[in-house]
A and B are shown apart, each in its own frame.
Chain A
Amino acid sequence: LSVQDGLAADFRAMTKTLYDLNKGTNIVRGGPLKEMVIENFDEEQIWQQLELQNNAVLDFFKKSIARDAEDEDLCLLSDQEEDGSDEETSSDKELEDTIMEAETEQKSVYTKDKDKTKAKEKQSKLRESIMQKYSDEDSDIDFDIEALEQQAKTAKETTLKKKGRKSVVDDKFFKLAEMEAFLEHAEKEDKEEEEDDINYFEDIISDDEEEDSEEAKVKPIKSSRDVTYKDFFDSVDDDDDDGDDLVANDAEEDQEEEADSAIEEQNEESMSEFEDMDEMVEHMRIKEASKKVTFSLPNDSETEDVTEVQLEKSIDPSEIKSSFEKRQEKMSKKIKSLEEVLLEEKPWQLKGEVTAQKRPENSLLEETVLFDHAVRMAPVITEETTFQLEDIIKQRILDEAWDDVVPKEKPKEEAFEYKKRITLDHEKSKLSLAEIYEQEYMKLHQQKTEEEENPEHKEIQEMMDSLFQKLDALCNFHFTPKPPVPEVKIVSNLPAISVEEVAPVAVSDAALLAPEEIKEKNKAGDVKTDAEKTPTDKKRELRRKKLRKRMRIREKEKRQKLLEKMKPEQGTKLSKKAAAAKLKRLTKEGKASLLKDEGKDKALKSSQAFFSQLQDQVRMQIKDASKLKKKQKKEKALSVHKLKL
């Protein structure tokens, strides 16, 4: 070997150009020299320059790798490698070579473990460097990442499953699993001590986003001004997922979100590349969404909305919608759903009166029905109530406060006492009205004074009497009898015979006879007054009366006849009544006629009497004659009348 000066000079020039180029890009900060100086420098000096640069680069790499150390999901694949290798234009060929070597070494390594290995760190560093260089074309890398993720979905799932442990504390914003992972990572970081400077302008990945690795990856590239809600929080749809949902759904959501976020930043050049991927994602999502629909509860409108929203999202990936538009969409969807509900047939609960036939079997058991209790509920007898009762009973027994029935006494007032109160004086009052009122007035005014004195006196008197009597009985050997009470003796001033009479005074025959014996009852039974009698009754009675009378008369006649026959002398002697009755009968029949007593037989005592009598007789005759004449005239008149006709 010999020194080939020409080649050496060429090499030097090349290194210089490369170095300058590298410096020009200004990716790597640090490094004291701005440009490489070749002129009049030995190889040793050039090497030292390079070394300086390398130190700076190394530092930079360390930092970036530290940042990417969290990236668990990095995996090296041949495609990536190839892409990476294609766009490789680094001046530091050795570094590149080492990077490439590392990559090739870990080509098929899946870095899904939580435990970070140095290799992974390196890999992440490398990736970081690659990403750093091609910041303009982030999108491509992102999508590449997505592709990677897609292919390694199943592996992800396992890790996610581990991560996606649901705990009680989990919330919309907080997941216990995430927190634990972050804490472990932090501990490791402390051990390793990677960072000296803190890059204030870098986006720090929060705990919430640990799950969303793509987003975590995306974030550092985003500037703080471009941060949106989605970067920090899961979309509303995600949080409605219950435990029923598969964890895969989460993964799908993540993918979906990442796709969305990626979409926003994408360049239109590379649309076609990942459209296919998106379609796959969509397909997956639709499947998941449909699955979601089956899992969600029928009455949970929110989840329905969620699914619908997701569907919508998946359906229209191409349009970029503003937040307002999205809100509008949501509202319209909600309105639609509400309208549908209203138009639909109402559930049986809202249908008013529902019989058993109109609702499903035993559906009322699941309903809580409210109704008014019209009747007071019977008291629930528990041990406590019985104890209370027993306590009351015991206390009552001790107090001897019985609830015995008190017999009611009818207030009996003797008639005597009642009459005493107001005596009915049937005699004329001896006092005049004025005096009566006077007395009354005096009574009213005097009563007050009298009442006060007397009762007390009486009481005292009584008490003393009783006391003295008792004392006497106790101490006196001589029995002192009670003071003589004036006896009232009733003497009836009646003759002895009336008092001593034994015979009962009050005995009447009426009592001995039955009423039917006194008066015969009717056949009908009841006695009727004249007003109550019907015409038939009256006729009946009349008939009876007539019958009786007839019988009596017949008997009488019979007796008469008998009498005449037996004792003809007695029979002729008619009573005055009978004679008068006979005469009457005869005159009626026309057999006998009564003569008028004209008084001719009487002796005329005075002449006046005689002449008056004579006059009277003549007058009578004339009257009779005139009557006859009148009669004849009448008859004549009649005949004439007849003739004229």
Chain B
Amino acid sequence: QVGKGELRKIPVPANRYTPLKENWMKIFTPIVEHLQLQIRFNLKTRNVEIKTCQETKDLSALTKAADFVKAFILGFQVEDALALIRLDDLFLESFEVTDVKPLKGDHLSRAIGRIAGKGGKTKFTIENVTRTRIVLADTKIHILGSFQNIKMARTAICNLILGSPPSKVYGSIRAVASRAAERF
């Protein structure tokens, strides 16, 4: 059904090389078994390559697989990234701290610290309330989840960057989340 053969390449940065090696089993199993795609890691180019084959039934499978691998490369856990394959309406959003407010030096570090919280507390709180997954990579922020939840999490993170204390952010996200929960 699918065309001759489409290929997707996902580059792997050096810091993710080892985690990739460790989680390789967990990565390729669902791709190959559930999505019927071909996957390999090109050692020379340091790319993960995914290709369609004759057994591939779904056109969108390739995109899904690519997104899954990409999510893992960004820093998400395999189980969390796996949700991308299982659910259709999950998205991945990335932005930088400086996009929200131009911060430099110590301010930037403080902002990142605010987002993370002590021992990651704040980040986990946001994740739990909004049902998303957040990856804080230095100045880059990646959020994985459904559209509405991404929005909620993004608002919370932006508030933290702009300087509001975590307790306030908790209150706001709790209110929003309760409203969202009531609706459904």
Contact = CB atoms under 8 A, between A and B. Distances in A.
Contacts of A425: 124-125, 128
A426 B125 contact: yes
Interface in A399-439: 421-422, 424-429, 432-438
Interface in A167-223: none
A380 to B, nearest CB: 54
B48 interface: no
B124 A433 contact: no
A313 B121 CA distance: 122
Contact of A433 (B117, B125, B133, B181): B133
Interface stretch (B1-9, B39-47, B75-83, B108-116): B75-83
18 contacts: A424-B128, A424-B129, A425-B125, A426-B117, A426-B125, A428-B120, A432-B77, A432-B82, A433-B79, A433-B80, A433-B133, A433-B145, A434-B82, A435-B79, A437-B131, A438-B86, A440-B131, A444-B184
A507 to B, nearest CB: 27
A84 B177 CA distance: 134
B131 A433 contact: yes
Contacts, number: 56
A428 B119 CA distance: 10
Interface residues of B, number: 27
A97 B170 CA distance: 148
A434 B131 CA distance: 10
Given A422-B174, A422-B177, A424-B174, A433 B128 contact: no
Given A424-B129, A433-B80, A437-B87, 10 more contacts: A424-B125, A426-B125, A428-B124, A432-B77, A432-B79, A432-B83, A433-B90, A433-B131, A434-B86, A437-B90
A433 B83 contact: yes
Contacts of B80: 432-434
B67 interface: no
Contacts of A433: 79-80, 83, 90, 131-133, 144-145
Chain A CB within 10 A, most for which of B125, B128, B129, B174: B128
Nearest to A429: B128
Contacts of A436: 131
Nearest to B119: A426
B127 interface: yes
Contacts of A424: 125, 128-129, 170, 174
Contacts of A426: 117, 121, 124-125
Contacts of B54: none
B20 to A, nearest CB: 18
A440 B184 CA distance: 11
Contacts of B90: 433, 437
Nearest to B85: A434
B178 interface: yes
A428 B127 CA distance: 8
Interface of A: 421-422, 424-429, 432-438, 440, 444
A149 B86 CA distance: 132
Contacts of A437: 83, 86-87, 90, 131
Across the A-B interface, give the 6 residue pairs with the lowest CB-CB distance, nearest first.
A432-B79, A434-B83, A433-B80, A433-B83, A425-B128, A426-B121
Nearest to B127: A429
Nearest to B121: A426
Contact of A434 (B79, B120, B125, B178): B79
Contacts of A434: 79-80, 82-83, 86-87
Given A429-B128, A437-B87, A422 B120 contact: no
B178 A421 contact: yes
B178 A422 contact: yes
A154 to B, nearest CB: 112
Contacts of B87: 434, 437
A5 to B, nearest CB: 159
Chain A CB within 10 A, most for which of B77, B121, B132: B121
Contacts of B145: 433
Contacts of B79: 432-435
A589 to B, nearest CB: 44
A364 B124 CA distance: 87
Interface in B117-151: 117, 120-121, 124-125, 127-129, 131-133, 144-145
Interface in B170-184: 170, 174, 177-178, 181, 184
B173 to A, nearest CB: 9
Nearest to B174: A422
A566 B15 CA distance: 75
Nearest to A440: B131
Nearest to B124: A428
Contacts of A422: 129, 174, 177-178, 181
B92 to A, nearest CB: 11
Contacts of B184: 444
A422 B120 CA distance: 19
A440 B170 CA distance: 22
Nearest to B120: A428
Interface string B71-101: 0000001011011001100100000000000
A435 to B, nearest CB: 7
Nearest to A422: B174
A428 B83 CA distance: 17
Nearest to B78: A432
A429 B117 CA distance: 16
Contacts of A429: 124, 127-128
Nearest to A419: B174
Contacts of B131: 433, 436-437, 440
Nearest to B170: A424
Contacts of B121: 426-427
Nearest to A427: B124
A427 B120 CA distance: 8
Nearest to A428: B124
Chain B CB within 10 A, most for which of A429, A438, A440: A429
A623 to B, nearest CB: 46
Contacts of A427: 121, 124
B97 to A, nearest CB: 22
Contacts of B117: 426
A427 B145 CA distance: 18
